[in-house]
């Protein structure tokens, strides 16, 4: 779906939207879409169609925390979920071959919703890997991470290495692998007041990727071992590997907001 290409409003609202969703409004190509695109309701909505350089710019900053190796982030015109552009991540094995593309989360409010489409080419390995990271100002700026372990999606808290779900066979079975070689819609809700998490894959809630405040064995009992009220200061997508596992990933139609955005 060519999300985010419909002007969603007129007048002052349009002007305001254009400021935060530059590429959303910029193309004005809705009439060319085969099916009507649903307007993106996020505070940030980027289909990367206005990116004309080699590296992501504008809203986005490319970063290599601590060290820089072989990881790269480039604008790719050969693979896209919408339009003709996406961000391609060449993620290397081992920590320093990481790369992230990020934007601040200031102004999003207590409920942070994210929606992005991701396509990757190598099945999630047994080792721990990450493709989304957020610095947490309430946790000495350590990262809140989304990635995989034991072949399935997981959340990870860098400071104490807690995982969601627990990496028991039952816990892992309550998560799901990130599909390979197809565009997948990932969504999450981070309730910064209560420390709760919801995660959806192609619109379906994933039990193993849920923190509801009530400790559930194999799911969030380990996560709830300490009081956690995150204050993410950024949203970064890319790749980081704590073993020797590499992957090539594409991200497109990235949206952040204060209510659920949907696929
Ligand atoms: Ca695009």
Give distance in angstroms: CA of 174 to centre of ligand 1: 31
Q: Is 212 exposed, middle or buried (0-12, 13-18, 19+ CB in 10 A)?
A: middle
Asked if CATH classification 3.20.20.70 holds for the domain at 46-257, the reply, yes or no, is no
What share of the chain has pLDDT > 70, as a percent? 86
pLDDT at 4 over 50: no
- What's the predicted TM-score (pTM) here? 0.86
pLDDT of residue 37: 53
Q: What is the mean pLDDT of residues 53-65?
A: 97
Per the prediction, the chain carries an average pLDDT of 89
Cα 196 to ligand 1 centroid, rounded to whole Å: 30
Q: Is a pLDDT exceeding 60 seen at residue 111?
A: yes
* b/e 149-160 (16+ beta carbons within 10 angstroms → b): bbebbbbbbbee
Residue 106 in this model has a pLDDT that exceeds 90: no
Higher-confidence residue: 248 or 32? 248
Ligand 1 centroid, distance to 158 Cα (angstroms)? 31
Q: What pLDDT sits at residue 10?
A: 33
pLDDT at 13 over 90: no
97-101 mean pLDDT:
98
Ligand 1 center to 220 CA (angstroms): 35
Average pLDDT over residues 132-139: 98
CA–CA dist 46, 24 (Å, integer): 6
What is the whole-number distance in angstroms between the Cα of residue 170 and the centre of ligand 1? 37
Burial of 54 (0-12, 13-18, 19+ CB in 10 A): exposed
| Position with higher pLDDT, 21 vs 202 | 202
State what percent of residues in the chain have pLDDT above 90. 83
Sorted by where each begins, the domain ranges of the chain are: 46-257
Q: How many CB atoms lie within 10 A of CB 248?
A: 15
Q: How far is CA 170 from CA 74, 85, 167, 198, in A?
A: 38, 39, 8, 19
d(CA 158, CA 166): 14
- Position 167 scores a pLDDT of 98
State mean pLDDT over 165-177.
Answer: 98
Top-ranked range on mean pLDDT: pick from 6-15, 21-30, 114-123: 114-123
The closest alpha carbon to 209, from 187, 237, 242, belongs to 187
pLDDT at 36 over 80: no
């Amino acid at each position: 779906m060519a999300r985010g290409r419909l002007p969603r409003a007129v007048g002052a609202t349009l002007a305001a939207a254009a400021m935060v969703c530059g590429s959303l409004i910029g193309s004005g190509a809705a009439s060319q879409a085969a099916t009507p695109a649903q307007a993106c309701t996020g505070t940030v909505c980027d289909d990367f169609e206005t990116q004309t350089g080699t590296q992501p710019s504008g809203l986005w900053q490319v970063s290599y925390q601590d060290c820089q190796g072989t990881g790269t982030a480039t604008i790719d015109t050969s693979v896209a979920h919408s339009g003709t552009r996406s961000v391609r991540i060449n993620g290397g094995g081992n920590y320093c071959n990481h790369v992230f593309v990020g934007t601040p989360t200031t102004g999003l409010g207590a409920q942070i919703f994210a929606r992005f489409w991701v396509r990757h080419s190598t099945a999630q390995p047994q080792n721990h890997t990450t493709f989304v990271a957020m610095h947490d100002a309430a946790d000495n700026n350590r990262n809140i991470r989304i990635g995989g372990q034991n072949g399935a999606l997981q959340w990870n808290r860098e400071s104490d290495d807690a995982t969601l779900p627990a990496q028991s066979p039952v816990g892992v079975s309550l998560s799901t692998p990130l599909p390979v070689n197809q565009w997948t819609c990932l969504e999450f809700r981070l309730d910064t007041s209560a420390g709760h998490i919801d995660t959806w894959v192609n619109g379906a809630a994933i039990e193993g990727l849920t923190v509801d405040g009530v400790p559930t064995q194999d799911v969030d009992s380990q996560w709830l071992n300490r009081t956690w009220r995150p204050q993410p200061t950024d949203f970064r997508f890319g790749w980081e590997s704590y073993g020797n596992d590499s992957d090539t990933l594409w991200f497109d139609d990235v949206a952040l907001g204060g209510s659920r955005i949907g696929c």
